Amino acid sequence: MLIIQHFDKISSTYTYVITTDVNRNAIIIDPVFENIETYLGTLTRLNLKLKYAIDTHTHADHISGIGKLRDLTNCTTAIGQQSKVIKTGMRVTDGDVIECDGMQLKAIYTPGHTDDSYSFLLNNQSLFTGDTLLIGGSGRTDFQNGNPYDAYHSLHQKILTLPDSVLVYPAHDYKENTVSTIIYEKKHNPRLQAPSAEAYAEIMNHLNLPYPKLMDVAVPANIALGQDINQSISFDDEITAEDFITKQKANEIVGIDLREAYECKRDGVIPNTHHCPYTLLDEQLKPGNKLHELLEQHQHQLYKIVFICAFGERSALALKRVRKIGYKGMKHLQGGYANWIKAGGVPELKS
């Protein structure tokens, strides 16, 4: 396992590139827009393929790089279920596990700094805490639906219940600290010594911190993330959820679900669709794999094939990638599985 820590001097943000040497796939956490070239340099230098770009929460002090990384590398973007971000590839909820090349990244809902804050636990060993727990500190709770009582409970009931040896990697540091441990923070972090939620709220409500300089720019920009994904996809490439339901009943289409196994298990599936996770697209397009077979089988009637994902981001990316290698005529489900549910689709639940 390799964890590479990048530092943004302007916002004092830490960004993490994590990888194993199994298949040279990587995950990035909390990338900063202005530093995209640096991250791409790291990926190139280590010959890594970026699979996921994740934000721990909607940032107020910098513009997120996850949308740009998705456009440049075709990776899957992810943020918490509670986030107001308009468009993202996946939304994680408490307990979801993103699996990639021997990395198991468990999402832990830790509201308080914001109401969409998550921490991510890597293989039970390393915790990416976002702004929930900082080294010797904790994230402010005075904007973006922050709440010191929620923060106290997230810290004491979720984070401090993890094993003492777990490494703590925060999203910010202002004093050149790089990494800590649960036990060290438990003993030495002054914020964690507050004896009750009330005492913690008393501290947090009197910090009198200045308004983040970039907040009025960063928050709207980050909420609008992913908006331009459909610029390269026309309306003719989409099928509405209503149309999908009608055409599927008439047996006129073949649905290919690109979501991850954990999403299918959590949210259910559209009956009679094929499952080919987007992260395995390159593999799946090789002869002998299911997606390759489906595309070949329908090559004279590719209008039948409809890509599906959670919200329409990965399906649009898949459409672009599959067309690039010569297949024409497929469509993707507008607004994804979420729209299909809204249109009255009856899911099949996976056990």
Q: Interface residues with Fe ion (CB under 5 A)?
A: 131
Q: How far is CA 231 from CA 133, 226, 317, 319, in A?
A: 38, 10, 11, 13
Output helix, strand, coil percentages for the chain, rounded to the nearest 5.
Answer: 35, 25, 40
- Least CB distance to Fe ion at residue 182 (A): 21
Helix axes 36-45, 66-73, angle to 10 degrees: 40
- Least CB distance to Fe ion at residue 167 (A): 20
- Least CB distance to Fe ion at residue 113 (A): 6
- Least CB distance to Fe ion at residue 210 (A): 14
Which residue number has the CB closest to Fe ion? 131
- Least CB distance to Fe ion at residue 139 (A): 6
Query: Among residues 195 and 210, whose Cβ is nearest to Fe ion?
Result: 210
Query: Among residues 215 and 302, whose Cβ is nearest to Fe ion?
Result: 215
Query: Among residues 128 and 278, whose Cβ is nearest to Fe ion?
Result: 128
- Least CB distance to Fe ion at residue 264 (A): 31
Q: Which residues contact 28 (CB under 8 A, 6 or more apart)?
A: 15, 16, 17, 18, 39, 50, 52, 53, 54, 66, 69, 75
Query: Among residues 128 and 337, whose Cβ is nearest to Fe ion?
Result: 128
Query: Among residues 131 and 237, whose Cβ is nearest to Fe ion?
Result: 131
Query: Among residues 107 and 330, whose Cβ is nearest to Fe ion?
Result: 107
Q: What are the DSSP calls for 126-186, one per residue?
A: EEEEETSSBTTB----SSTT--HHHHHHIIIIIITTS-TT-EEEESB-SSS---EEHHHHH
Q: Which residues contact 57 (CB under 8 A, 6 or more apart)?
A: 79, 80, 83, 113, 114, 116, 117, 118, 130, 131, 144
Identity of residue 6: H
